[in-house]
């Protein structure tokens, strides 16, 4: 009975997932990914990767859309803002000292699985 009552809620939740095929990545799978653009890949290796492939840091894993979709839903501008200003364990600027706003956008798109 209880399961029957829950069913509509589960269906609703499933309907909210933009890509039901998105699967969680292991840290190893996440660490094996890199941005296609060589310069962006260099920035990623120096800055974002040290946290965004390590679950213990609390950072969403790069390439894992199950961890990024709710953040992506906030919009690119909101994500750019939290990157520049910092957010809890996320340091302002993400430890990239030469990143332009467009670099950040490319890094965010890559990590959110939208490259
Ligand atoms: C020192 C570790 C660390 C580094 C380095 C780091 N991040 Fe993060 N990042 C985090 C953590 C932790 C969170 C989760 C923050 C939260 O939601 O509480 C996060 C979250 C984010 C978010 C989601 C923000 C939101 O509004 O939901 C974006 C975007 C992001 N990081 C981008 C970057 C980019 C781009 C870089 C590299 C230039 C980077 N991060 C480098 C730790 C890091």
Residue of 104, 106, 112 whose CA lies nearest to 67: 112
For 66, residues 6+ apart whose C-beta sits below 8 A from its C-beta are: 22, 23, 24
Residue 14 is predicted with a pLDDT of 52
Residue 22 is predicted with a pLDDT of 87
Alpha-carbon gap, residue 18 to 14, rounded angstroms: 9
- Residue 81 Cα: closest atom of ligand 1: 26
Residue 24 is predicted with a pLDDT of 96
Residue 92 is predicted with a pLDDT of 98
Q: How many CB atoms lie within 10 A of CB 55?
A: 15
Residue 103 is predicted with a pLDDT of 98
Alpha-carbon gap, residue 86 to 1, rounded angstroms: 46
Mean pLDDT for each consecutive 10-residue tract of the chain (115 residues)?
54 53 93 98 98 98 98 98 98 97 98 95
* Ligand 1 binding site (Cβ under 6 Å of any ligand atom): 47-48, 50-52, 57-60, 71, 74, 78-79, 82-83, 87-91, 94-96, 99, 104, 107-108
Q: Atom 8 of ligand 1 has which residue's CA nearest to it? A: 90
Residue 86 is predicted with a pLDDT of 98
């Amino acid at each position: 009975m209880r399961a029957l009552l829950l069913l509509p809620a589960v269906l609703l939740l499933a309907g909210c997932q933009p890509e039901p095929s998105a699967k969680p990545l292991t840290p190893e799978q996440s660490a094996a990914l890199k941005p296609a653009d060589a310069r962006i890949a260099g920035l990623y290796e120096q800055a974002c990767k040290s946290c965004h492939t390590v679950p213990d840091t609390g950072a969403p894993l790069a390439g894992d859309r199950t961890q990024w979709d709710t953040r992506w839903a906030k919009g690119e501008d909101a994500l750019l803002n939290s990157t520049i200003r910092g957010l809890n364990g996320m340091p302002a600027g993400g430890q990239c000292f030469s990143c332009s706003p467009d670099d950040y956008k490319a890094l965010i798109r890559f990590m959110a699985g939208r490259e």
